[in-house]
Amino acid sequence: MNKKVIITLAVIISCLILVSIYFYYENTKLQTSNYEIIKSKIPSDFNNYKIVQVSDLHNTKSRNLTDELIKEIQRERPNIIVITGDLIDANKTNIDTAINFIEKIQNVAPIYFVSGNHESSISNYSKLQEKLQENNVTILDNKLEVLKINESSINLIGIDDPRMAHESFVDDSEIIKAEIDKIGYDTNKYTILLSHRPELFDTYVEKNIDLVLAGHAHGGQIRLPFIGGVIAPNQGLFPKYTSGIFEKNQTNMIVSRGIGNSILPFRINNRPELVVVTLKSDKTLY
């Protein structure tokens, strides 16, 4: 074998190794994103109230990623933990894996859960619900939880993924509107909505929700510089709502890039994400 061939093979092997390291890093190295929401509607008792959001875990098989996620949640010491759907994966459902994760974080803070499209696609969702409740997880399936500190309170509401309604001929937006209307909550209080679906942002704006925490888009799976995500479920190519914070009228929406993968087994320029939201009352600024 001549020197030129050896050099070529060495370059190819080196490139393959570097690409493998990059893919491993991009798909297993957790990133924590911090957001502050400053609103006069937030009671001063809730100033610095911290919410950790976990989305789209999809029964990830990466032990390193799961361990890092658990440690980061513990380190953040949130007031509450919210899970915005797709804790499991319909294509590789393992309820025990999902519950094992919950067991590791249940003593950190109260946990609230809403379903995603993958929960709506499995036949044994009731078993997952049962196991979650056994581990003190509150399932907000079109329900309200009033969070209280001293004499102050805010609303935490959660809605089922629209696929749970099994209404094939009804628009997702109409299903969501009906679910929110059924809950019945004090609209004068600051209201946080847990919903899996970011593509329905205009619906949340129409319903005057103050803050929406969503997932589902997986950050667009592949993220390009200056462009963002390439593809997302229910949004198609070059989707609008894949990551970060969005605002319209009085509504904010934060979209988590999620933790695991589903149909596409990899991410590019799109690390798994833990979202940390800190509420700030602007009454404390004066």
The domain limits of the chain are 3-285
Q: What is the CA radius of gyration of the chain?
A: 20
- For residue 208, give the 3-state DSSP assignment: coil
Given 3-state DSSP classes, what are the helix, strand and coil percentages for the chain, each rounded to the nearest 5?
A: 35, 25, 40
| Whether residue 123 has pLDDT greater than 70 | yes
In words, the CATH class of domain 3-285 is: alpha beta
- Residues 247-258, mean pLDDT to the nearest whole number: 97
Q: Look-up: residue for tokens 């003190």?
A: 136
DSSP 57: -
Q: How confident is the model at residue 167 (pLDDT cuts 50, 70, 90)?
A: confident
Q: What is the pLDDT of residues 66-76, one digit of tens each?
A: 999 999 999 99
Q: Look-up: residue for tokens 């004499």?
A: 151
- Residues 242-266, mean pLDDT to the nearest whole number: 93
Predicted local distance difference test score (pLDDT) of residue 284: 59
Most confident of 3-7, 32-36, 91-95, 118-122: 32-36
All residues at 6 or more sequence positions from 169 whose CB lies less than 8 Å from its CB, including other chains:
none
Predicted local distance difference test score (pLDDT) of residue 19: 73
Predicted local distance difference test score (pLDDT) of residue 285: 55
Dump strand ranges (E) for the chain: 31-39, 49-54, 80-84, 111-114, 137-139, 143-149, 152-158, 191-194, 211-214, 223-224, 228-229, 231-232, 236-237, 244-248, 251-255, 273-281
Q: Which range among 18-22, 181-185, 262-266, 279-283 shows the weakest confidence by mean pLDDT?
A: 18-22
Q: How confident is the model at residue 168 (pLDDT cuts 50, 70, 90)?
A: confident
> Mean of the per-residue pLDDT values for the chain?
92
Predicted local distance difference test score (pLDDT) of residue 283: 66
CA–CA distance from 259 to each of 2, 4, 28, 266, 274 (Å)? 46, 43, 9, 11, 7
